[in-house]
Structure 1
Amino acid sequence: MTRLIGILVGLFFTVAVLWAFVTGAANYIAEPPAATAEHEFHRHPKELHLSSDGPFGTFDKQQLQRGFQVYKEVCSACHSLNHVAFRDLAALGYSEPEVKAIAAGFQVPGVDPNTGEETLRPGTPTDYFPKPYPNDIAARAANNNAVPPDLSLMAKARHNGPAYIYSLLTGFQDQPAELLKEFPEAKTPTGLHYNPYFANLNLAMAPPLTTTDQVSYGDGTKATVDQMAQDVSAFLLWTAEPKLEKRRQTGWPVLGFLLFATVLAYLAKQQVWADKKGKKG
């Protein structure tokens, strides 16, 4: 009896799920959801080609240094890098004295050894990049009630992350007249900025990259808005996947070994069972 009741309960729930699916599909076909501005005007990220693309790609350290410079001089005013320590910058090609100098240029939280009170001190290579705001309340007050996200893992947190970051940084524009005509209620609110690469088309962040030569690259590269956006996108890919090159360098030999081991195992199996097959025949 218990088994029969279990079967009947399972059958009931199966029928209920099928009924919900069929009625939901029928309602969707009969009355499709109304079009929204987000659905009609949201754009997929632009194409971005980096030297790290592909299974054999490697980081362009010169570009990563340029991207770090953009982050340091522009993005760090609002966005943190909580998972990156100053000493990690050595992987970008900076020498030990350069890393120490970069760290010392930031003020990080510390404790006064004489009074025990919290204070700020110059950073050291073992410190992590400091937060630009003391707390979320201060961050919201300075950014139209929005908390700027940490950028350490942003390239992993978004689909096609580097291209998304690049598109967002270069995508600020005036709202299209077509959008305002079709969806007048979707007019960008005061204090927000229209960007078709953002999920709801409007974000609190003002365009951070606005003019050519906003930063001065030491390698002579022309610092156009597009170039700066590419460079900082490449840098944020590195912050999200600093072991990318090492993982690939390790992965290919491992795959080669596994392939060799598979072939060797197959040949051994053929050798071991050869006599058995012969006798069976």
Structure 2
Amino acid sequence: MSGPVVVGVDGSASALAAVDAAAREAQMRDVELRLVHAFTWPAMHVPHGASPLDPPAGGMRDAVERLLAQAVGRARTAAPGVEVSHTVIAGEALAVLEAQSRTAQLIVVGHRGTGGFLELLLGSTAVHLSAHGRCPVMVVRDQPDPAGPVVVAVDGSPKGRTAVAFAFAEAALRGAELLALHTWSTWADHGDHSLGQPVNLVDLIGDVDQVRAAEERVLAEALRDHRGRHPDVKVRSSLVRGRTRPVLIEASRRAQLMVVGARGHGGFTGLLLGSVSQAVLHHARCPVTVVRSGL
């Protein structure tokens, strides 16, 4: 996908860390980095300029320009040579970033914010942006392991293929190993199941080894075509019997990036709709990129 890498900027430490990550992403892709600040004060009818009681350079608009200048300097330090632009857009943060996602190839935000991005990851906004944005959304958290793999959560669903494709491309850009992680259980809880309730697959199939073998085939099938497109990417497959949420969080401790889809089934039921997504976005120990199907 063409277009710039866009990062939300608000002057917070978290946003500056997001600027660093976004600058490196733009450098790897050889595209423009666009810094965006959502300027909400005009909607609140607050004067842009300095108050008569403030110093001459004390207006809110001046403060925004200073924080953008700081972010531009940070970006150029993190990724020298990257083309950097910046813009201030009047509006609420979610609406601003959703609009930007229509022309961007990646949106990057910090996990905590102030000002125009205060609400990001404090409630449903980041989940909404990740599920409805028109490009992948990267949420920058903690300090990733630069030598760690790119981890992708594989569920084998058609909607999950976009996330797997993105993870392969990201691993290729970074020259990193790709860890394809698939969780499984003998219990199935698909919403379209005719019985409408959890079912123990052992009761249906009769052999836990057969269940495991079927899950191995799901994982292998999800990766097969992408291996051919990215022969230089070293891929490590991991089939883990266990609960999705703790498995993903534990894997994030040794990763440089985690990639998840915006919809899932099987081992990733409810991803970005309930507790699993909240746990990954709030507790992962590395940046998380959410890739919506159909992008």
Is TM (by shorter chain) over 0.5?
no
Q: TM-score range by the shorter chain?
A: under 0.3
Determine which structure has the larger strand proportion and give its number.
2
* TM-score when normalising by structure 2: 0.24
* TM-score when normalising by structure 1: 0.25
Report the structure number with the largest CA radius of gyration.
1
